[in-house]
Every structure is written in C-alpha cells, then in structure tokens.
C-alpha cells in the first residue's frame, strides 16, 4: 500500500514551507503542494530524510493524504484561497478538512465555511503568527469555526505550536471566522506596538542623540524588564546589524516607507464599524500612510525647516528612563484597546471568545508575545467578563504611574517637533476613557443647531430640540 500522509500543506512559501518542516519535526508525515517548482524542490531538499511528498500535482497530493484529509493553506489571502479551494474540490470527500492559515478577512472565512458546508467539506479559518521563525520552531495558532473540525487536527497543531509555561499556544477560539478575527486584531496590536517603538527610537535618536549602539543597549535593558517582548528584543538586534552593502548600520540605509498588507487597516475599519475606539492602532495605520508619502514629505520639509539646535538640551538619562516607562504604559493601553475590540466583536458576531485563552496563546510564538500577556491572562482569570483592561486592578497602578512619563516624553517630542502620533493617541485615549465628562455636549449642541438632531439633558429624561439663537 502507498504511503498515506497525516497532513497536507498548500503554499510552500515563507510560512508554508517552515510550517510543514515543523510538522515533520514532530514525527508526522506530510505532503506539500505548490505550483511554483522552485518551492517544491526547496521542500524536497530541506526535508530530506523525512516522510514527505512534495509536488505540484493536485490529484497526487490529495490522494496521498489519509482521511479525513487535513489540508492547510498558506497562500496569499484573497483570490488565491478561492482558486486553491476550487482546485481541491473535485478530489475531496465528505468530512475532509481545509484550513486557511493565511491572513484572511473574517467575513471571507464565513462565506467559504458556508459554501463548503453545503458540499460536506469542513473548513476552518486559522490565524498563524510568528513569522518564518515561528512557523518553523513554534507559532501561536488561532483556530476558529467548528470545534469538531478543530479536534481532527488538534494533535498536530498542539505539537507544532509554541509552548508558554508548558502549555501549547493554540486553542479553539470561537465560532465562524473567530480565528481570523483574533489574528486581525493581533496584527492591529502589532501595528500599534511597532509604531510606538519607532516613535521612541526617533525621540531617543534626535532628543537624546543616542547612537545605534546606545539604542541597542537601551532596548536590551528594557527587554530585561517590564517591557520584555519579542518586538523590543528584535528592535535591539536591528540596531546592532551592520550594513553589508555600505559603511555603518543597516537601519540607517533603510528607506523610511513602511508597507502594509491590510490587517492593521481592517482592524481600524472594523473597530469603527463596531464603535470601539482603537486610536493607537488608527495612528499606526495613519503613520504607515504618512511614511508612504515620501515624495510629498521631501517636498514640504524645506518649507518648514527645523531649528532643533536652538532647543533647550533635554536631560538624556531622564528621557531614556521616561521613555521606558512611557512605552510600558502605551503597550498596556494598546493591548487594552485590542482586547476591548475583541470583547465587543465576540458579542456582535457571536464568536464566543474567551479573553483569558487569547492572552494565554499570545504568550508564546507570536509577534506580540510579551511578559505583559501573563498579567493580562491573570486579569481575565480574575474577571472573565472585563470589557476593558483599564478597569483591571492589575493594570491600575502601572497606568497611574506610567502616564506621567508619557506626558514628559510627549513634551520632549513637541519641543523637538517630532511626531509621536501613536504615543499621543494612547495618552489621549486614556485621558478620555477616564473622563467622566467630555466636551461632546458641545458637539451635540452643534448637531442640534444645524441639523435639528436633538440632544439629551443631564437633569431630565427625554429628547430635546432648541431653536438656537431664536
Ligand atoms: N510572512 C509572514 O510573516 C506571515 C504571513 N502570514 C500569511 O500567510 C499567508 C502566506 O504568506 P507567505 O508564506 O508569507 O507568502 P509567500 O508568498 O511567501 O508564499 C505563498 C506561496 O503560495 C503559493 N501559491 C500562490 N497561489 C497558489 C496556488 N493557487 N496554489 C498553490 N500555491 C500557491 C506561492 O507561489 P508563487 O511563489 O508562485 O506565487 C507561494 O509559494 C498569507 O496570507 C500571509 O498574509 C501570516 C503570518 C505571518
Ligand atoms: O501577519 C503577519 C505578522 O503577524 C505578517 O507578517 C503580516 O504581513 C504583517 O502585516 P503587514 O505586512 O501589514 O505589516
């Protein structure tokens, strides 16, 4: 009898090839499919000696898999996913499972789930985080959809996932497109944290005049404290990277235009749809947009030249310390915004999410893994229905303490004329969410003035309209 393989992977690029190698490392047999022959050959070479089939023939690939078939896709989100599903259908049988592991928009997952269900094919939307290294050595995995479908593939996913405090960083998260929704918000938080770190770099470089070596040491020191996280760790390493093509550090030769594939923007857009503010993520998306306007910036810059050298000298040591505290505050607030969005989405889309489980599986493997996640997990363990982490006792003291540092670093940014849009948005979000009264009574008055939109009063029930100025 021919070999029957435990697991199938379609898309043998950055993520797919590393993920399938990870599966093989854990003693499972696996088949890989890609239309690109170079990728097929690369898998054959990298998996030499393992029980693997690498092919670009769909019929051969599907027939080689043991039933129910477990086929994961790591192809670009969008059309490619529908194309691959269409190419598989003639060969699949009832009960087989297709898993989309890409960064797919969650409503596409719902659509695919419903259409495949009619054909008797199981479908699962699943976020995967950790980049190439995570896929290879242990990612954080965010599956959603039918729990029975998850059970079919759980032994493989639990084996390959990262482990945090001995527990696998994978769990069935909820109904329908829940897995892809959680991954989208993960990426929104990722955007926020990355932008905050970029802003800190800018102020330390221009305000405290830190060299790349000093920046590396500063970020390393932070990574040994409350800010311990993957993103702080790699940021320190980035400052140490020499440039292979010219003198100096590589960071100084990288064009300041950040690209984006959509998940951060989707998070902001969907948060607006649900009426949940995520201003740090909005700011991060906006800054990617501003970074892309390189030619416009270059054109405008000479018209508003800076005179930094005339500015009062900032206390270097104080600024570095305040920046570390400010980042800790802003990191907490960014996770809080993302988790608040998940709380609302869970009821709006009936995902049935458990925030403690999400905090738990984000503690290892993923891009936003951080020491803070363990505090978050404990906060949700104490109060599972907590809507916003700002109201957690665990967060109260670091937020109260950290906000002062944020005000200091923002003041430095203002003096230097350097943008800290994410940091400022984070502080203003905090100041707004803790303000019992906001000046939006004026907005209501204006709406009623020009559009008879009515307003409510503070002293009596009902809806009121005034003939303003009459
Ligand atoms: N890179 C990352 O850090 C992360 C990526 N993701 C997500 O994972 C998914 C895959 O990303 P990534 O691995 O980076 O992308 P890559 O482009 O590196 O790999 C995608 C692979 O899929 C192949 N492919 C495309 N269409 C088909 C098809 N119809 N049939 C078979 N193979 C096909 C591509 O072939 P070809 O080269 O010929 O186009 C390529 O080999 C995306 O949704 C991405 O957003 C998720 C987490 C992290
Ligand atoms: O999912 C990821 C990490 O978690 C991918 O790396 C994704 O591409 C990051 O988003 P963008 O390309 O928009 O920066």
Mean pLDDT by 10 residues, the chain (470 residues): 88 98 98 98 97 98 98 98 98 98 98 97 98 98 97 98 97 97 98 99 95 98 98 98 97 98 98 98 98 97 75 82 98 98 98 98 98 97 97 96 97 93 98 98 98 98 97
Rounded distance, CA 230 to CA 78, Å?
29
DSSP structural state of residue 250: G
pLDDT at 308: 54
Q: What is the DSSP string of 358-394?
A: HHHHTSSSSTT-BTHHHHHHHHHHH-TT-S-GGG-HH
What are 392's strand-pairing partners? none
Return the residue whose CA atom lies nearest to atom 6 of ligand 2: 131
CB-based contacts of 343, cutoff 8 Å, min separation 6: 353, 355, 386, 387, 388
Return the residue whose CA atom lies nearest to atom 11 of ligand 2: 260
State the distance from the centre of ligand 1 to the C-alpha of 324, rounded, in angstroms.
Answer: 36
Other beta carbons within 10 Å of 397: 9
pLDDT at 276: 98
Each residue of 189-212: b (16+ CB within 10 Å) or e?
Answer: bbbbbbbbbbbbbebbbbbbebeb
Rounded distance, CA 325 to CA 322, Å?
5
Rounded distance, CA 263 to CA 267, Å?
6
Q: Domains (ranges, CATH) in the chain?
A: 7-172 (3.40.50.720), 183-433 (1.10.1040.10), 440-470 (1.20.5.320)
Binding site membership of 232 for ligand 1 (Cβ less than 6 Å): no
pTM over 0.95: yes
Judge whether 261 is annotated as a binding position.
yes
pLDDT at 314: 75
The ligand that comes nearest to the alpha carbon of residue 77 is 1
Rounded distance, CA 84 to CA 342, Å?
30
DSSP structural state of residue 94: T
pLDDT at 1: 43
What is this model's ipTM? 0.98
> Left if phi > 0, otherwise alpha if psi is -120 to 50, otherwise beta: which for 178?
alpha
Q: Are 314 and 208 in contact (CB under 8 A)?
A: yes
Peptide bond into 119 cis (omega under 30): no
What phi and psi, each to the nearest 5 degrees, are found at residue 431? -65, -30
State the distance from the centre of ligand 1 to the C-alpha of 29, rounded, in angstroms.
Answer: 21
Max Cα–Cα distance, the chain, nearest Å: 91
| Per-residue CA distances from 219 to 233, 280, 332, 352 (Å) | 7, 21, 17, 37
From 325, 309, 326, 303, select the one nearest 207 (Cα to Cα): 309
| Per-residue CA distances from 202 to 29, 264, 324, 343, 416 (Å) | 48, 22, 14, 33, 10
Each residue of 215-243: b (16+ CB within 10 Å) or e?
Answer: bbbbbbebbeebbebbbbbebbebbbeee
Judge whether 402 is annotated as a binding position.
no
CB-based contacts of 155, cutoff 8 Å, min separation 6: none
Rounded distance, CA 324 to CA 327, Å?
5
- Catalytically active residues are 183, 190
Among 187, 194, 288, 364, which is best to mutate for testing ligand 2, by the most ligand atoms less than 8 A from CB?
A: 187
Rounded distance, CA 138 to CA 445, Å?
55
Q: Are 21 and 46 in contact (CB under 8 A)?
A: yes
pLDDT at 306: 75
What phi and psi, each to the nearest 5 degrees, are found at residue 140? -95, 130
- Binding-site residues, ligand 2, Cβ < 6 A: 103, 129, 131, 187, 190, 260-261, 263-264, 367
Judge whether 428 is annotated as a binding position.
no
Q: Pairing relation of β-strands 163-164 and 167-168?
A: antiparallel
State the distance from the centre of ligand 1 to the C-alpha of 77, rounded, in angstroms.
Answer: 8
Rounded distance, CA 389 to CA 398, Å?
12
Each residue of 327-362: b (16+ CB within 10 Å) or e?
Answer: bbbbbbbbbbbbbbbbbbbbeebebebbbbbbbbbb
pLDDT at 365: 98
Judge whether 186 is annotated as a binding position.
yes
DSSP structural state of residue 313: P
Through-space distance between the first and last CA atoms of the chain, rounded to whole angstroms: 91
Q: How far is CA 136 from the centre of its chain?
A: 19
């Amino acid at each position: 009898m021919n070999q029957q393989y435990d697991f199938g992977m379609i898309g043998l690029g950055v993520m797919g090839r590393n993920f399938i190698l990870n599966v093989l490392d854990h003693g499972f047999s696996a088949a890989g499919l890609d239309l690109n022959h170079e990728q097929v050959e690369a898998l054959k070479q990298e998996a030499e000696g393992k029980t693997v089939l690498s092919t670009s023939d769909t019929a051969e690939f599907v027939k080689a898999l043991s039933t129910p078939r477990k086929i994961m896709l790591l192809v670009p989100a969008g059309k490619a996913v529908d194309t691959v599903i269409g190419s598989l259908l003639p060969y699949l049988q009832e009960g087989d499972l297709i898993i989309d592991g890409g960064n797919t928009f969650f409503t596409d997952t719902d659509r695919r789930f419903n259409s495949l269900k009619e054909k008797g094919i199981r479908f699962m939307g699943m976020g995967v985080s950790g980049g190439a290294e995570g896929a290879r050595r242990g990612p954080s995995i965010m599956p959603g959809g039918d729990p029975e479908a998850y059970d079919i593939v759980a032994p493989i996913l639990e084996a390959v996932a990262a482990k945090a405090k001995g527990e696998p960083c994978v769990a069935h998260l909820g109904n329908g497109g829940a897995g892809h929704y959680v991954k989208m918000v993960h990426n929104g938080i990722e955007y926020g944290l990355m932008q905050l770190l970029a802003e800190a770099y800018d102020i330390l470089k221009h305000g405290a005049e830190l060299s790349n070596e000093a920046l590396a040491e500063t970020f390393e020191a932070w990574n040994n404290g409350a800010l311990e996280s993957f993103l702080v760790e790699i940021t320190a390493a980035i400052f140490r990277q020499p440039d292979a093509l010219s003198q100096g550090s590589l960071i100084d030769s990288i064009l300041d235009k950040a690209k984006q594939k959509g998940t951060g923007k989707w998070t902001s857009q969907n948060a607006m749809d649900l009426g949940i503010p995520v201003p740090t993520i909005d700011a991060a998306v906006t800054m990617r947009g501003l970074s892309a306007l390189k030619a416009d910036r270059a054109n405008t810059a000479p018209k508003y030249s800076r005179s930094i050298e005339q500015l009062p000298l900032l206390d270097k040591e104080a600024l570095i310390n305040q920046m570390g505290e400010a980042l800790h505050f802003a990191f907490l607030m960014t996770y809080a915004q993302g988790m608040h969005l998940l709380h609302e989405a869970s009821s709006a889309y009936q995902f049935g999410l458990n925030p403690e489980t999400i905090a738990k599986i984000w503690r290892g493997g993923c891009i936003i893994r951080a020491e803070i996640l363990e505090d978050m997990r404990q906060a949700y363990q104490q109060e599972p229905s907590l809507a916003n982490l700002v109201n957690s006792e665990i967060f109260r003291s670091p937020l109260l303490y950290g906000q002062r540092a944020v005000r200091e670093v923002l003041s430095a940014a203002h003096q230097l004329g350097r943008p800290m849009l994410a940091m400022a948005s984070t502080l203003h979000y905090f100041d707004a969410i803790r303000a019992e009264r906001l000046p939006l009574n004026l907005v209501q008055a204006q709406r009623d003035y020009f559009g008879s939109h009515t307003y409510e009063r503070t002293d009596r029930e009902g809806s009121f309209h005034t003939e303003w100025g009459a």
